[in-house]
Structure 1
Amino acid sequence: MKILWGILLGSVALSAGQAFAADDAQTEIHALQARLKQLEQRIDDQGRRQQAQAKIATKAPSPFDPCPAGKVCYKGVTLTFGGWVDFAGIYRSRNLASDTGSVYAFIPFRQSKNFNTPETRFSARQTRFSLLAEADAGADTHLAGYGEIDFEGAAQTANSVATNSFNPRMRQASLEIDRTDLGLHFLAGQSWSLNAPSRVGIDPRAVDAPGVIDFESVPGFLAARQPGVRVWKDFGPEFKLALSAENAATSFVGGNVPFVGTPATGPQGVLNPNLLINLTGPGGSFFNNANNLSLNRVPDVTIKAAWDPRLGPTKFHAEGWVLYREFYDRFNFASHNIGTVSYGGHLALEVIPKTVDLTFSAAQGALGRFTAAPFPDVTLRQDGSMQVLPITALQAGAVWHTTPSLDLYAYAGLEKTRATFSNVGTVPFGYGNPLYNNTGCNIENSPAATCNGNTSEVRQYTAGFYDTVLKGDYGAVKFGVQYSYNQRFAFAGVGGAPKTDDHIVMTQVRYYPF
């Protein structure tokens, strides 16, 4: 019996042990199954992350993505820094007493001592800095604030003697609001004028300017930077229409003062003191009291259309604009005003993709203050009323990207006007009047009164190159050389039609750190 009870008890114990072992195995199986599910979830999550990263890598970068490479982000605002450090060398065969900008309508005639005096200068004043701040104000509303400065300002304290302390100046400062769902854009602030040429669409922050070193660009390039408001609409990806109202100003003959033939009998002597064409700002008005302010009462209004058709790999841009301006003066208790309409257009064509670019611009109208020469806008009649100087401006250019680092360019341009005057006996009025005295224009040191020489036309032929000598994560360093042949022609007067020219060579080293 004892043996039987022992066998029975052993059997029960063995069965219990097997039951406990089975329970432990089942628990381990459940634990392994849970662990396997966790691993599968991790693998799925990793796969989804890799797919998302692949999509981000293949999509075009957006300035509104969280901190794109090369930008700085702060409280939802994306900051893009731009600009360059510049050094230019200047040589002119005629002394213009100018820095990096050549004033073509003031190339001296032989009457001036400057005609036989060359000019050599160095300048770092084209150094420029810019900041673009962008942010989303909603799913379809984008904001962009843009500011730009250089050192081309010249206060009375600026000089080239000891410290060369030329002051910075505001080039641009504007706010842009874009509604992508409506294709509408709004800009307020100082920017390039709407009639300045663009390379693509309506671009308020940049222009399709000739890529030359001379700060005055090439005759035929019409532009200004001024405060105003602008709105434009996208009609599909190719066509845009814009309207702007911009700050107005008038340039009178002689640069905001009437032309003086001779002090005693010329227009100024006859019309003053009862003539008012401009005013100087009072002290504390935030205008320099040495500068004249014209009497404009309405803004300049411009309408512009831009077309960027798709031509396969070739880029093409065409635009046309119409500008309305008004001019004012007051003489002998009466005010005079005259309204004008000017027009122009610009073409930019990539003839061979990424290799050869061509540009062409043309304009006609009262455009004096927009010219590179510069020309005046209006002149005066003997009754104090005004006559508009019509300007014709043409420019053509080509750029050859010979290698990824070397660009060659050539441009030709002209700006011209026609004689605008009224004859009253022996007192000449207007611009280009044949009664003006030009007898001393070709005689060095002759009296100023014997060389009136109203400019009729300026021309330029220029060529040069830019070479990228260094390029990397640190930015780029470029070196350039430009040569231009410049001509100035005057209207015929008593003693003939004088003309002059200037050979200009400029060099440039520029560092683009951004």
Structure 2
Amino acid sequence: MRLLKGIVLGGVLISTSQILPQRAFAEEDTSAEIRLLKAKLKQLEQRVEDQGRKEKVYEAQAKASIQAPPPYKAAASAFNPCPVGKVCYKGVTLTFGGWIDLTDIYRTRNLASDTGSIYNFIPFAQSKNFATPESRFSARQSRFSVLAEGDAGADTHLAGYGEIDFEGAAQTANSVATNSFNPRMRQMSIEIDRTDLGFHVLAGQSWSLNAPSKAGIDARGVDAPGVIDFESVPGFLAARQPGIRIWQDIGPEFKIAASAENPQTSFFGGNVPAVGTPAVGPQGVLNPNLLVNLTGPGGSFFNNANNVSLNQVPDFTVKAAWDLRLGPYRLHVEAWGIYRQMFDRFNFANHTYDTGSFGGHVNAELIPKTLDLQVYGAHGALGRFTSSPFPDATLTQDGTILPLTITAAAVGLIWHTLPTLDIYTYAGLEKAKAAFTDVGTVPFGYGNPLYNNTGCNIENSPAATCNGNTREIRQITAGFYDTIYQGNYGTLKAGVQYSYNQRLAFEGVGGAPKTNDNIVMTQVRYYPF
């Protein structure tokens, strides 16, 4: 403005210097013209000042639009929209996880099994593989996961999670030349959290609601025993299955949840074909009009070697979880209940059987940051969730459903000996209650004392002389896990586990057979993320 004023004033002076000599004789006219020029200069100064004020207003508005808060306030959560060491894309944060794994397995009884020990199939002395040890390497526990998170509003947080491993085994899988094993979907879910309401929804495939959590209601993680064996410890119950769940925060410590999950029923008593032809099992010949499961036809997206049970309603689970601190001690307590309906068709009619089961879990610090306690317990028709595994139900000759009641319990101690070294020990059991009927002299059901067990301890005796229905699985195990390296290039860990396992059968004709297995596993894992 000062420069503009100077230019205008200079122009006025130049004009005046040219006019005055010519009009010296007309002073009055000159004075009038000078007053006119001053008036024009005044108007021009006023315009410059108005323009300056407008520019200041525009600048203030631009700064206000830049500095103004967004239309919503970021949700108060642990989620950082762009934390160090993670990948961010269009407001979404990606967290990668998983590991590369090599496990070495040795068993004194040959289960022909990979990283998971099927305890309910530990052979009796009747079988040739009772005296045959088993040793193998496996990299199939290697795992990859990704978590995508973002805020969709002031109080709405979204999270999508996916996880795969290589424990799948299609008909083409082999351990000969190519060792070709299939990636499989472990988890795939979307979670919606309303922080203002303390309300959460999850849909997709995740851990079942009755799977134990270390804190709160955790759908993506599970407080499993920290052992190497993929089948975990008897007494630990869990499954991964598709469904939907909701849960509500009640204060900072207490949560309640409910879920509807995919139902399946594992039956004992012969594999009944889809066409309904009779099947002969250890309990005799079943009714030819009986249907308890189906095999998927081509194009059904099921392997036609696997059965799918008949179910018409989901499994419904409710759960309550309580997290609190007792001075320096952390404590997590939870309890749950499940409603399940079992279903079959016989004598030209559909029949159902409703069951209820319950259980709970405790995770506690006995010595802060030094000694942890894990306790698991459950009771009911829970065979499909067990580590053994047990069947859910058996059948009478006419197709009546008899659920198997399972009692499961496990306890473990984890000693954080050093910042890099954990030592653990667990003891667990799963026990079934017999369920059976007789038709004349023909025994049916599970755990029937009329079953023939006379050949269970004689190698290569006929299969019909060793029914050997499992009554109980017991295990005691111990091991350690050490962090060898942790730094900018990830984490390298190694561990060793030993377990002593017992399989006890129901009493039958010829006695109650039992068997055992000593299992040693070692493992090396690299966590790149």
- TM-score, L = length of structure 1: 0.86
Q: How far did residue 453 of structure 1 move?
A: 0.3
Which structure 2 residue ranges, 5 or more long, are not aligned?
1-75
- Aligned residue for 1:25? none
Matched with 1:428 is 443
Aligned residue number for residue 269 of structure 1: 285
Matched, 1:175 2:175: no
Letter of the 1:439 partner, please give it.
T
Deviation beyond 4 Å, 4+ runs, structure 1: 254-258, 262-268
Which of residues 203, 211, 224 is equivalent to 2:218?
203
**Superposed displacement of residue 406, structure 1:** 0.6
Q: Distance in 2 between matches of 1:111 and 1:254?
A: 21
1:444 has 2:444 as partner: no
The two structures, once aligned, show a CA RMSD in angstroms of 1.6
* CA drift at 1:334: 2.0
Cross-structure match for 1:315: 330
Tell me the residue number matched to 1:143: 158
One-letter code aligned to 2:331: F
Write out per-residue CA displacement over residues 255-298 of structure 1, whole angstroms, 9 at most, x where no aligned residue: 8659xxx9769645242x21100001111111111110000110
| Secondary structure in 2 matching 1:369 | helix
Structure 1 stretch displaced more, 112-121 or 280-289 = 280-289
Q: Residue 383 of structure 2 corresponds to which residue in structure 1?
A: 368
Distance 2:454 2:253 in 1: 56
Contact 2:269 2:395 survives alignment (8 Å): no
Counterpart pick for 1:153 among 157, 168, 173: 168
Q: Equivalent residue for 1:85?
A: 100
1:124 is aligned with what amino acid? A
Is the Cα–Cα contact under 8 Å of residues 401 and 407 in structure 1 kept in the other structure? yes
Partner of 1:190: 205
1:506 is aligned to 521
Match of 2:267 among 242, 252, 260: 252
Task: Name the CA distance, whole Å, in 2 between partners of 1:510 and 1:338.
Answer: 45
Structure 2 matches for 1:397-436, cutoff 5 A? 397-436=412-451
1:378 to 2:387 alignment: no
- Classify the secondary structure of the residue corresponding to 2:435: coil
Structure 1 residue 469, shift from structure 2 partner: 0.7
Indicate the SS of the match to 1:364: strand
* Superposed counterparts of 1:39-78, under 5 Å: 64-78=79-93
Q: Which of residues 349, 352, 363 is equivalent to 1:337? A: 352
TM-score after normalising by structure 2: 0.83
Q: Separation in 2 of the partners of 1:157 and 1:472?
A: 39
Contact kept? 1:250, 1:256, Cα under 8 Å: no
Contact in 1 for aligned 2:282/2:464 (Cα 8 Å): no
**Over residues 61-103 of structure 1, what are the superposed CA-to-partner deviations in whole Å (9 max), with x where a residue is unaligned?**
9654341012100001000000000000000000000000000
Which has the larger Rg? 2
> Kindly tell me: are residues 182 and 461 of structure 1, through their superposed partners in 2, closer, same or farther at Cα, counting changes over 3 Å?
same
Q: Cα deviation per residue 1:120-170 (whole Å; 9 max; x = unaligned)?
A: 010000000000000000010000000000000000101000010101000
Please give the secondary structure, in 2, of the residue aligned with 1:350. Answer: strand
SS at match of 2:464: helix
Q: The residue matched to 2:150 in structure 1 has which SS? A: strand
Partner in structure 2 of residue 103 of structure 1: 118
Aligned: 1:389 with 2:404:
yes
Q: Partners in 2 of 1:173 and 1:255 — Cα distance?
A: 34
How many residue pairs were aligned? 451
Alignment equivalent of 1:353, drawn from 363, 368, 374: 368
Q: Percent identity?
A: 75
- The match for 2:133 is 118
User: Closer, same or farther in 2 for the Cα pair 1:265/1:409, shift >3 Å?
Assistant: closer
SS in 1 for 2:311: coil
Which residue, 465, 488, 504 being the options, matches 1:473? Answer: 488
Task: Give 1:423 deviation, angstroms.
Answer: 1.9
Cα–Cα, structure 1 residues 201 and 303, in superposed 2: closer, same or farther, change >3 Å? Answer: same
Contact 1:109 1:442 in 2 (8 A): yes
Distance 1:256 1:410 in 2: 38
